[in-house]
Amino acid sequence: YNPIQIARYVKTLFKGEIYIEDVGEFHFDQGKVLKPINGNIQRLSIMSEINRQVNALQVKF
C-alpha cells in the first residue's frame, strides 16, 4: 500500500471505505481514517500513518 496515495483518496472523497490487501477494510469520514473496530497493532499503525499523510496534504494545500 502507498500511504500518500491513500491519503489523497481519503482527503478527496471525504467519506467511505477502503480495503488494503492483506490488511483489511478501513472506514473514513470527514477526511480521516477511523479507528478500526478490531484494531491490532498493524492496523492502528496504518491508520495513524495515513492520517499523518492527510494532515501533511492539508498543510501543503
Q: Read off the amino acid at residue 46.
A: I
Compute the radius of gyration of the chain from its Cα atoms. Answer: 11
pLDDT digit string, tens, across residues 33-56:
999 988 799 999 999 999 999 999
pLDDT digit string, tens, across residues 2-39:
999 999 999 988 899 999 999 999 999 999 999 998 87
The neighbour count for residue 4, using CB atoms within 10 Å, is 13
Contact 50, 60 (CB under 8 A): no
Is the pTM of the predicted complex or chain greater than 0.85? yes
Q: What is the pLDDT of residue 39?
A: 77
CATH assignment, 3-60: 3.30.1910.10
Q: Read off the amino acid at residue 57.
A: L
Provide the residue ranges of all domains of the chain, joining segments of one domain with +.
3-60
Q: What is the pLDDT of residue 58?
A: 77
Q: What is the SS3 assignment for 40?
A: coil
